[in-house]
Structure 1
Amino acid sequence: MTDPRLSDTSVFPDPVYKETVLAPLFDGAKDHHVEGFRAIDRAHLVMLAETGILDAAQAGEIAKALDSIDAEIVPSELVYTGEVEDFFFLIEKELKKRVGLDLGGRLHTARSRNDIDHTLFKLGLRERLNVLIGKALNLHSALIEAAEREKHTLIVAYTHGQPAQPTTFGHYLSAVIEFVTRDIERLFEAYRIVDLSPMGAAAITTTGFPTDRALVAELLGFAAPLQNSYSCIAGVDYITSTYSAIELMFLHLGRPIQDFQVWTSFEVGQIYVPNSLVQISSIMPQKRNPVPIEHLRHLSSQTVGRAHAMLTVMHNTPFTDMNDSEGETQSMGYGAFASAYRVLDLLAALVAQIRIDPARVAQNIRRSCITITELADSLVRREGLSFREGHEIAAAVAKAVVAMGGDLVSDGYAPFRAAFEQATGRVSTLDEATFAELVSPEYFVSVRTRFGGPAPEPLNAAIAGYRQDAARLAQTHDNLLRRQADAARLLKTRFDALKGHA
Structure 2
Amino acid sequence: MSGGRSKSGGSRWDERYVDHVLRPSYELWQQRYWEHFFALQQAHLVALVRAGWLNRSDARAIALALFRVEGSGLRGEPYQGDVEDLFFRVQEQLEAEAGEVAGHLHLARSRNDIDVTLYRMDLRRALLSLHEQVGLLSGALLEQARRHVDTIMPGYTHGQQAQPTTLAHYLAAVLDAVERACRRLEGHYPLVNRSPLGAAAFATSGFTIDRRLQAELLGFDGIVRNSYDAVAATDYLLPFLAECGTLGATLSRFNADLLFWASNEVAALWLPNGLVQASSIMPNKRNPVVLEHIRSRLGRVPALVQQAYALHANVPFGDINDTAENLQPVWHQAVDLLGAAVDLLARVVSELQVDRDLLRRRAGEGFSTVTELADTLVRQRGLSFHHAHAVVARLVEVGREHELPPSTWTPRLLEEVADSTLGRPVSLQEAELQEALDPGHFVDVRRTEGGPAPEQVRAMLDEARAGLEASERWRTDTHARLDAASQQRLQEVQRLVDGANPFDERRGDRSE
Q: Output the TM-score relative to the length of structure 1.
A: 0.93
Q: Which residue in 1 is equivalent to 2:65? A: 65
- Aligned-pair CA distance for 1:191: 1.8
Q: Equivalent of 2:417, from 405, 411, 419?
A: 419
Letter in 2 for 1:461: A
Would the alpha carbon gap of residues 332 and 484 (structure 1) be closer, same or farther in structure 2, given more than 3 Å must change? same
Q: Which residue in 1 is equivalent to 2:224? A: 226
Would the alpha carbon gap of residues 281 and 405 (structure 1) be closer, same or farther in structure 2, given more than 3 Å must change? farther
Deviations 1:194-228 (A, max 9, x none): 11111111111222323111111111111111221
My pick for the range that moved more, 121-130 or 201-210, is 201-210
- Aligned-pair CA distance for 1:414: 4.6
- Aligned-pair CA distance for 1:429: 4.0
Q: Equivalent of 1:309, from 307, 310, 315?
A: 307
Q: Which residue in 2 is equivalent to 1:484? A: 482
- Aligned-pair CA distance for 1:79: 1.7
Q: Which residue in 1 is equivalent to 2:150? A: 152
Letter in 2 for 1:92: Q
How many angstroms apart in 1 are the aligned matches of 2:404 and 2:495? 83
Deviations 1:288-332 (A, max 9, x none): 222211111111112332233222223332111111122242123
Would the alpha carbon gap of residues 362 and 70 (structure 1) be closer, same or farther in structure 2, given more than 3 Å must change? closer
Q: Which residue in 1 is equivalent to 2:443? A: 445
SS at match of 2:372: helix
How many angstroms apart in 2 are the aligned matches of 1:460 and 1:187? 26
How many angstroms apart in 2 are the aligned matches of 1:354 and 1:403? 38
May I ask how many residue pairs the two structures share in their alignment?
490
Letter in 2 for 1:166: P
How many angstroms apart in 2 are the aligned matches of 1:72 and 1:181? 42
Provide the aligned C-alpha RMSD in A.
1.8
Q: Which residue in 2 is equivalent to 1:235? A: 233
Letter in 2 for 1:243: L
Would the alpha carbon gap of residues 413 and 314 (structure 1) be closer, same or farther in structure 2, given more than 3 Å must change? farther
Deviations 1:330-385 (A, max 9, x none): 12321122222221121111112223312322342333010011111111222222
**2:97 aligned with 1:98, yes or no?**
yes
1:278-297 equivalence runs, <5 A: 278-297=276-295
- Contact (CA 8 Å) 2:219, 2:481: kept in 1 or not? yes
- Contact (CA 8 Å) 1:247, 1:308: kept in 2 or not? no
- Aligned-pair CA distance for 1:149: 1.3
Letter in 2 for 1:62: I
Would the alpha carbon gap of residues 269 and 405 (structure 1) be closer, same or farther in structure 2, given more than 3 Å must change? farther
Gaps of 5+ in 2: 1-10, 501-512
Q: Which residue in 2 is equivalent to 1:341? A: 339
- Aligned-pair CA distance for 1:85: 1.4
Q: Equivalent of 1:191, from 168, 181, 189?
A: 189
- Contact (CA 8 Å) 2:364, 2:439: kept in 1 or not? no
- Aligned-pair CA distance for 1:278: 2.7
How many angstroms apart in 1 are the aligned matches of 2:494 and 2:422? 90
- Contact (CA 8 Å) 2:62, 2:94: kept in 1 or not? yes
Letter in 2 for 1:19: D
- Aligned-pair CA distance for 1:168: 0.4
My pick for the range that moved more, 201-210 or 465-474, is 201-210
Q: Which residue in 2 is equivalent to 1:202? A: 200
Q: Which residue in 1 is equivalent to 2:382? A: 384
1:34-49 equivalence runs, <5 A: 34-49=34-49
Deviations 1:94-134 (A, max 9, x none): 22222333x12100000011110000111111111111111
Deviations 1:378-417 (A, max 9, x none): 1122222221211121112222223444431334545323
Q: Which residue in 2 is equivalent to 1:55? A: 55
How many angstroms apart in 2 are the aligned matches of 1:424 and 1:392? 8
Letter in 2 for 1:144: L
Deviations 1:468-487 (A, max 9, x none): 11111111111110000111
1:429-440 equivalence runs, <5 A: 429-440=427-438
SS at match of 1:117: helix
Q: Output the TM-score relative to the length of structure 2.
A: 0.92
Q: Which residue in 1 is equivalent to 2:163? A: 165
Would the alpha carbon gap of residues 183 and 381 (structure 1) be closer, same or farther in structure 2, given more than 3 Å must change? same
SS at match of 1:65: helix
- Contact (CA 8 Å) 1:25, 1:328: kept in 2 or not? no
- Contact (CA 8 Å) 1:218, 1:224: kept in 2 or not? yes
- Contact (CA 8 Å) 1:400, 1:415: kept in 2 or not? no
- Contact (CA 8 Å) 1:367, 1:405: kept in 2 or not? no
1:11-50 equivalence runs, <5 A: 12-50=12-50
SS at match of 1:209: coil
- Contact (CA 8 Å) 1:366, 1:407: kept in 2 or not? no
How many angstroms apart in 1 are the aligned matches of 2:225 and 2:179? 30
Q: Which residue in 2 is equivalent to 1:7? A: none
- Contact (CA 8 Å) 2:414, 2:427: kept in 1 or not? no
Q: Equivalent of 1:370, from 343, 356, 368?
A: 368
How many angstroms apart in 2 are the aligned matches of 1:277 and 1:36? 37
How many angstroms apart in 1 are the aligned matches of 2:15 and 2:140? 52
SS at match of 1:33: helix
- Aligned-pair CA distance for 1:138: 0.8
SS at match of 2:236: helix
How many angstroms apart in 2 are the aligned matches of 1:356 and 1:15? 58
Letter in 2 for 1:329: L
- Contact (CA 8 Å) 1:204, 1:230: kept in 2 or not? yes
- Contact (CA 8 Å) 2:199, 2:205: kept in 1 or not? yes
How many angstroms apart in 2 are the aligned matches of 1:172 and 1:192? 32
**2:320 aligned with 1:322, yes or no?**
yes
